[in-house]
Homo-oligomer: A and B are copies of this chain.
Amino acid sequence: MPRFFIDPPDICGGAAHIRGKDAEHLRVLRVRPGELVTLCDGKGTDYLCRLLALGPDSAEAEIMSSAPSETEPGLSCTVYAGLPKGERADFIVQKCVELGAAGVVFFLSERCVARPDGAGLKKKLERWNKIAEEASKQSGRGVIPSVGFAASFAEMLRGASAAEAGFFLWEEERKPENNIKAALERAGSFGTAAVVAGPEGGFERREAESAAEAGLVPVTLGPRILRCETAPLCALTALLYHSGDLGYGKTAG
Nearest residue (CB) in B for A70 is: B223
A253 at the interface (CB under 8 A from B): no
What distance in Å separates the Cβ of A57 from its nearest Cβ neighbour in chain B? Answer: 29
Residues of B within 8 A of A111 (CB): none
Tell me the complex Cα distance, A241–B182, Å: 10
Nearest residue (CB) in B for A227 is: B98
Tell me the complex Cα distance, A247–B238, Å: 12
Nearest residue (CB) in B for A138 is: B225
Q: Restricting to A215-253, which residues have a CB under 8 Å from any CB of B?
A: 220-227, 230, 233-234, 237-238, 240-242, 244-249
Residues of B within 8 A of A176 (CB): 247-249
User: B223–A179 contact, CB under 8 A?
Assistant: no
User: B230–A179 contact, CB under 8 A?
Assistant: no
Lowest 7 A-B CB distances belong to which pairs? A179-B247, A237-B237, A71-B223, A176-B249, A139-B224, A139-B225, A222-B246
